[in-house]
């Protein structure tokens, strides 16, 4: 399945610094997005990209997912071998999506109420 996302200007977090993370990063490099790798270690290819300032690296052992809310990314890609951390990240993303949907619905409802009030005048 091929998916084409418009990631220009978006902040992308890649969690993990191994070979799978490298593959994902390479697929993002031409997207004109900000790529931040979060990991306690990175492989040599990712390290080269950091030195070339093509991506950012935040050295951090992933014990919790507090960093996600601090960085406020548009997209999170998890490539760790830790299924518990991966699941926490997935659950966080699901809750965040649900909150965004609620915000959108509220904006629509408020807009409709405002239009009704204008029509009543």
Superfamily of domain covering 11-120: NAD(P)-binding Rossmann-like Domain (3.40.50.720)
Q: What is the pLDDT along the chain (121 residues), one digit of tens a residue?
A: 556 778 899 999 999 999 999 999 999 999 999 999 999 999 999 999 999 999 999 999 887 788 888 888 888 888 988 888 888 888 888 777 666 566 667 777 777 777 777 766 6
Look at residue 91 in the predicted model and tell me its pLDDT. Answer: 84
How distant, in Å, are the alpha carbons of 8, 86, 108, 114, 118 from that of 17?
23, 14, 41, 49, 55
Beta carbons of 64 and 84 less than 8 angstroms apart: no
Q: How many Cβ atoms from other residues are within 10 Å of residue 42's Cβ?
A: 23
| Domain map (residue ranges) of the chain | 11-120
Q: In what order do the strands lie in the sheet with 56-59?
A: 56-59, 34-39, 11-15, 75-78
Beta carbons of 15 and 77 less than 8 angstroms apart: yes
Look at residue 113 in the predicted model and tell me its pLDDT. Answer: 74
Beta bridge partners of 15: 38, 78
Distance of CA 56 to the CA centre of its chain: 14
Look at residue 97 in the predicted model and tell me its pLDDT. Answer: 66
Tell me the backbone φ, ψ of residue 108, rounded to 5 degrees. Answer: -65, -45
């Amino acid at each position: 399945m091929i998916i084409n996302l418009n990631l220009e200007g978006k902040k992308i977090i890649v969690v993990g610094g191994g070979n799978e993370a490298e593959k994902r990063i390479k697929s993002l490099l031409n997207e004109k997005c900000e790529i931040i790798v979060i990991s306690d270690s990175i492989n040599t290819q990712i390290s080269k990209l950091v030195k070339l300032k093509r991506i950012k690296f935040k050295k951090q052992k992933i014990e919790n997912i507090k960093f996600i809310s601090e960085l406020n990314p548009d997209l999170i890609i998890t490539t760790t071998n830790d299924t518990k951390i991966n699941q926490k990240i997935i659950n966080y993303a699901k809750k965040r999506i649900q909150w965004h949907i609620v915000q959108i619905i509220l904006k629509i409802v408020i807009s409709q109420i405002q239009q009704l009030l204008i029509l009543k005048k």
